[in-house]
Amino acid sequence: MLPVSVVITTRDRPAVLARAIRSLLDGTEAPEEFVIIDASTGDGAAAAVAALFARPGAPRLFLRQATTIGAAAQRNQAVALATCEFILFCDDDIVCEPDCLAHLWGAMTADVSLGGVSAAIVNQRYVRPGAATRLVLSVIGAHEHEGYAGRVVGPALAFLPLADAEGGTVPVEWLNLGCTLYRRAVLPEPPFDGFFYGYSLGEDLSLSLRVARRARLGHVPAARLLHDSQPGVHKASAVGVSRMQLVNRYYLMAEVMERKSIGDLTRLMAWECFQLVASAVNDKLGRAFWQLLRGRILGLSDLLHGRAGKAVSP
């Protein structure tokens, strides 16, 4: 077995969780242990997990109830329990192809300068921004150069990497946490700071930007997975999600990327205004637009009154 601790956080998704775990257990390479932090209201997840690990030769399992509910907090709890030198962060609603972990492991062991590598999400691909978006990005100083794929530009705007890139490991500026392998030695302690709560939007960007100060990051297109995104209580409030998007983006820009000048704030506001205009046009001033607008107003109020990180979670 590979010296890898698989970290999965979950809440009330027993069947989906079991499918994700099974895709990793049935892979061509097996991880040494799984650390699962469960915030479920019932015992369905625990029963589903126990059945999967009852077979002889199964990886080591740590299954614990969440001490604090929220993606970042649960991941911190899991990493504290993990015993391996490599940490594989996985969402509970992914389905990995059989050789996904093998490709990630091969990339990591082939280049010791890599601190983390991510897998390609086959149903969430990078799409080049449209003409209007590219114009706004250039106005705020985020020029396209050779494309935006895998880059972090302007006020903490992160773009997915190319899912079908050719060759081996592709250099990138950030990693999402759908299925991402990190060297434990380069992770902050704890990996996620206390700012992130609930849905924890941007926690993956924050972590990878911090790791990138110590090691290189890579994307492995040959490592593939399906992300079967599921509904949940953390996504139930469109207003709450919109609120968190502004607050967390400001935090990432100002505190993680250390972009705090008047120019940086102006670029953030310009981008947010563009998002509102785009929503107004696309939704024709429908319900989605007003939810987005209300959330942004609440987020702005949080920032102005120093409540960032303390607002009610979506």
The per-residue pLDDT for range 84-133, each reduced to its tens digit, is 999 999 999 999 999 999 999 999 999 999 999 999 999 998 999 999 99
Cα–Cα dist 179/167, whole Å: 19
Other CB atoms within 10 Å distance of the CB of residue 183: 18
CATH code of the domain in which 201 resides: 3.90.550.10
Mapped onto helix, strand or coil, the DSSP state of residue 92 is coil
User: pTM of the entire structure?
Assistant: 0.93
143 lies in a domain?
A: no
Cα–Cα dist 26/23, whole Å: 5
Query: How many structural domains does the chain have?
Result: 2
Q: Which residues contact 160 (CB under 8 A, 6 or more apart)?
A: 121, 124, 125, 126, 149, 150, 176
Instruction: Encode pLDDT of 176-190 as tens digits.
Output: 999 999 999 999 999
150 lies in a domain?
A: no
Which residue, 227, 256, 274, sits at the end of a domain?
227
154 lies in a domain?
A: no
248 lies in a domain?
A: yes
Are 33 and 55 in a shared domain?
yes
Instruction: Encode pLDDT of 14-34 as tens digits.
Output: 999 999 999 999 999 999 999
For 98, the token pair is 């059989």
pLDDT value of position 229: 85
Q: In whole numbers, what is the pLDDT of the chain averaged over residues?
A: 93
Range of the domain at 242: 237-304
Using CB atoms within 10 Å of the CB of residue 172, give its burial: 0 to 12 exposed, 13 to 18 middle, 19+ buried. buried
Mapped onto helix, strand or coil, the DSSP state of residue 227 is strand
**Residue 60 and residue 33 in contact, taking contact as beta carbons nearer than 8 Å:** yes
Which residue, 227, 261, 281, sits at the end of a domain?
227
Which residue, 227, 259, 283, sits at the end of a domain?
227
Are 246 and 214 in a shared domain?
no
Are 221 and 258 in a shared domain?
no
Mapped onto helix, strand or coil, the DSSP state of residue 63 is strand
Are 185 and 59 in a shared domain?
yes
**Residue 117 and residue 220 in contact, taking contact as beta carbons nearer than 8 Å:** yes
pLDDT value of position 309: 52
**Residue 116 and residue 172 in contact, taking contact as beta carbons nearer than 8 Å:** no
Q: Which of 176, 195, 200, 158 is nearest to 314 (CA)?
A: 200
Are 14 and 70 in a shared domain?
yes
Are 111 and 172 in a shared domain?
yes
**Residue 164 and residue 221 in contact, taking contact as beta carbons nearer than 8 Å:** yes
Cα–Cα dist 109/178, whole Å: 20
Q: Which of 158, 173, 177 is nearest to 71 (CA)?
A: 177
pLDDT value of position 236: 65
Q: For residue 312, which amino acid is it?
A: V
Residue-by-residue DSSP string for 228-284:
-----GGGS-HHHHHHHHHHHHHHIIIIIS---SHHHHHHHHHHHHHHHHHHHHHHT
For 20, the token pair is 């994700």
Cα–Cα dist 199/70, whole Å: 6
Strand 179-183 to 216-227 pairing? unpaired
Residue range 266-283: mean pLDDT, rounded: 95
Are 6 and 84 in a shared domain?
yes
pLDDT value of position 305: 87
